[in-house]
Amino acid sequence: MIIEYAIFFALIGFCLLLFFLSERQYKPRQHTPRDKCESPIERRLYDGLLARGYSPLTQVPCGKYRIDIALVSHKLAIEADGKAFHSSPQQKARDKRRDAFLRNNGWRVMRFSGRQIFRELNSVLDRIEKEISS
């Protein structure tokens, strides 16, 4: 009798395992705008905006450029500048051209360094909210 119970529960466990594996296998992965974030600083800023009730989009195309994080309803482009890609004179000049292009296409542009995003996220979010309300 004990062996029959053991076999019965082993079969139940095996069936449950197969069920959960098949659910996982056939359920397509939901992609979110967060999945498009290209760096840890973008993810941190995205999460902060989400926590404050905003619906940020990431890597939003605008002409030949992509906006790191956009609050489309407010037409606000937020750029998260990592030191490696935004510190040389050539990169700074490129960022100025990009900002001018975005502004000419109706976007307000804000830039934050990775250092600001990691060390002063609440201050960064407050500045974004101030820009939105102005």
pLDDT at 8: 81
Res. 84: pLDDT tops 60: no
Res. 49: pLDDT tops 80: yes
Closest CA to 108 of 67, 58, 59, 49: 67
Res. 85: pLDDT tops 60: no
For residue range 2-39, list pLDDT tens digits in order.
787 778 877 888 877 777 766 555 555 667 888 888 89
pLDDT at 104: 97
Higher pLDDT, 125 or 17: 125
pLDDT at 78: 97
Sequence-distant (6+) residues with CB within 8 A of 105 are 62, 63
Closest CA to 69 of 30, 117, 16: 117
Res. 41: pLDDT tops 80: yes
Confidence of residue 123 (pLDDT cuts 50, 70, 90): very high
Question: How high is the mean pLDDT of the chain?
Answer: 87
Q: What is the mean pLDDT of residues 65-94?
A: 86
The set of long-range contacts for 20-27, using a CB threshold of 8 Å and a minimum separation of 24, is none
Closest CA to 37 of 29, 24, 28, 49: 49
pLDDT at 16: 76
